[in-house]
Amino acid sequence: MILIVDDQVENIYSLNKLLKSWDFEVDTAQSGEEALKKVLKNDYALIILDVQMPGIDGFEVAETLSGYSKTKEIPIIFLTAVNTDKKFITKGYASGGIDYITKPVDPDILILKVRTFYRLYEQTVALNDSKEILKLEIEARKKAQQDLNDKVEHLHTTLESLPQIAFRADAFGNVFFVNKNWFDYSTDPAIYPEVHPDDITMEAVWEDCMQHLQPQEVELRIRELRSGAFRFHLLRIIPVKGEGGIKSWVGTFTDIDDQKQEERKKDEFLSIASHELKTPLTSIKAYIQLIERMEHKQPESKVATYIHRAHDQVSKLDGLINDLLDVSKIENGKLKINKKPFDMEKLIASVVETIQYTSAQPALRIERQGPLITGEIYGDAFRIEQILINFFTNAIKYSPGAEKIVLHTAKENDHIYIGVQDFGIGIPDHKKKNVFTKFYRVEESSVQFQGLGIGLYICAEIIKQHQGNYGVESTLGEGTTFYFTLPIS
């Protein structure tokens, strides 16, 4: 908007008309005082200011405007009497936007000047706006940088306070921060601790990180500088993601050596104990068989019943010891799998018969859903039978009073699926993933049902050695399905 300031109403009228005919918005003031009031209240792009006015004259108005930040940039065109006032015009006004025009006003020249100043004003406004935006942007960036620095500082303090060795590495695995514990294992922040020659190398760990771009967890031994001994550590490396991918990695080495030694001692004990128990048990079994044969002639006698029960208990004990032996074989990498072609249907039939024959719940039905598995499967029939018996035994054990169990089968192009579904107590969601780990038992049911928590662990290992998959689906209070798949070829 343009402000015309003149004490002569006729002048205001003609200027107003002229400017409006050029589509400018116009406001007017008839004195210096009125002009000052309006300028402080409204925004003007240009002021056309008569110099000679009663009261505050044009120069004084200009001088006052130059003192306010809001108004000092507004361009002014003075209207002066010919040649008299020109020499005063340049003084006192800070902005470059100043010009004059002599009376009587030549409309063409006035419009020319108005348009030039108007454009100048628009450009100044645009420039100021961009300056403001730029200023805000710089401030925002400074703030973001400061926040980032604070976060990094916070992270480093946290890493420093950890009992573990902690480090940060750039996107390519080059270390740029280590905490003080690092120096128990390496003298140089840029050099990783020495890894035992039999364990995975740091290069290989980083290759995995770069390939999968996922958190990594490995166990390895690193050499402690003070003792020179290699100690087991759990190395965890976690990516820090930002815009456009991984920005850096945070890693920790947690000392698990004591734990490992304990585990090793326990495994050794288990292995020795189960071997030692096995020998006398085999003798007991043999003697019971001998007595059974001698008692054969009086099958209804009390002695025969007791011997039968003793035989059952010895079989259970035998099963437990075999499981313990299997665990120690798995620990030592000695669980042997003898793969041969075998008939899966025959195996299923035999397992179902055994289960029905030995089950303490005679009313229990075993239903079958799914196609017959025709053709031979390549695997260790004895071990696969072990899995099925385990799944069935658990299904019966963990569904007291249930009437049926369903065996599901399916055959895909390259694998078969076998699942055992029960309608028993079920497993809480967050515990499902643990049931295949060694010695794990679901707490809620561990008092009511006896067991060692190793059956599923052995099953998982057998299935892994057959390159199959396994899993569990379960709803608490409704039932559970344990399943595995085996490749056909």
Chain residues binding ligand ADP by CB under 6 A are 394-395, 398, 422, 424-425, 427, 435, 440-442, 445-446, 451-457, 480
State which residue, 253 or 391, has the beta carbon closest to ligand ADP.
391
Residues pairing with 410 in the sheet: 417
Residue 298 CB, shortest distance to ligand ADP, in Å, is: 37
Cα 259–chain centre separation: 28
Distance (Å, rounded) from C-alpha 188 to C-alpha 183? 7
Residue 309 CB, shortest distance to ligand ADP, in Å, is: 22
End-to-end CA distance of the chain: 87
Q: CB-based burial of residue 200 (10 Å sphere; 0-12 exposed, 13-18 middle, 19+ buried)?
A: middle
CB 383 within 8 A of CB 337: yes
Strands of 54-143 (E only): list them: 76-80, 98-102
CB 43 within 8 A of CB 121: no
- The amino acid occupying position 487 is P
Q: Is 351 helix (H, G, I), strand (E, B) or coil?
A: helix
State which residue, 377 or 456, has the beta carbon closest to ligand ADP.
456
State which residue, 58 or 424, has the beta carbon closest to ligand ADP.
424
Residue 418 CB, shortest distance to ligand ADP, in Å, is: 15
- The amino acid occupying position 377 is I
Q: CB-based burial of residue 111 (10 Å sphere; 0-12 exposed, 13-18 middle, 19+ buried)?
A: middle
Residue 422 CB, shortest distance to ligand ADP, in Å, is: 5
Residue 487 CB, shortest distance to ligand ADP, in Å, is: 24
Residue 184 CB, shortest distance to ligand ADP, in Å, is: 39
Q: Can you give the length of the chain in residues?
A: 489
State which residue, 267 or 345, has the beta carbon closest to ligand ADP.
267
State which residue, 114 or 427, has the beta carbon closest to ligand ADP.
427
Residue 280 CB, shortest distance to ligand ADP, in Å, is: 23
Residue 346 CB, shortest distance to ligand ADP, in Å, is: 25
State which residue, 212 or 365, has the beta carbon closest to ligand ADP.
365
State which residue, 76 or 387, has the beta carbon closest to ligand ADP.
387
Residue 395 CB, shortest distance to ligand ADP, in Å, is: 5
- Nearest residue to ligand ADP, by Cβ distance, number only: 451
State which residue, 319 or 487, has the beta carbon closest to ligand ADP.
319
Distance (Å, rounded) from C-alpha 161 to C-alpha 78? 73
CB 165 within 8 A of CB 179: yes
Classify residue 370 as left (phi > 0), alpha (psi -120 to 50) or beta. left
Cα 226–chain centre separation: 37
State which residue, 270 or 288, has the beta carbon closest to ligand ADP.
270
Q: Is 77 helix (H, G, I), strand (E, B) or coil?
A: strand
- Closest by alpha carbon to 419, among 351, 472, 359? 472
**Sheet with strand 76-80: strands edge to edge:** 26-29, 2-5, 46-50, 76-80, 98-102
Residue 381 CB, shortest distance to ligand ADP, in Å, is: 21
The pair of structure tokens assigned to 217 is 């967890």
Residue 429 CB, shortest distance to ligand ADP, in Å, is: 13
CB 424 within 8 A of CB 400: yes
State which residue, 75 or 455, has the beta carbon closest to ligand ADP.
455
Respond yes or no on whether the N-terminal peptide bond of residue 104 is cis (omega within 30° of 0): yes
Residue 404 CB, shortest distance to ligand ADP, in Å, is: 14
Distance (Å, rounded) from C-alpha 81 to C-alpha 394? 112
Owner of token pair 């002009």: 35
State which residue, 351 or 456, has the beta carbon closest to ligand ADP.
456
Distance set, CA 382 to CA 148, 237, 336, 351 (Å): 60, 40, 11, 11
State which residue, 179 or 421, has the beta carbon closest to ligand ADP.
421
State which residue, 324 or 373, has the beta carbon closest to ligand ADP.
324
CB 481 within 8 A of CB 419: yes
What is the CB-side half-sphere exposure of residue 214 using CA atoms within 13 A? 6
Residue 358 CB, shortest distance to ligand ADP, in Å, is: 16
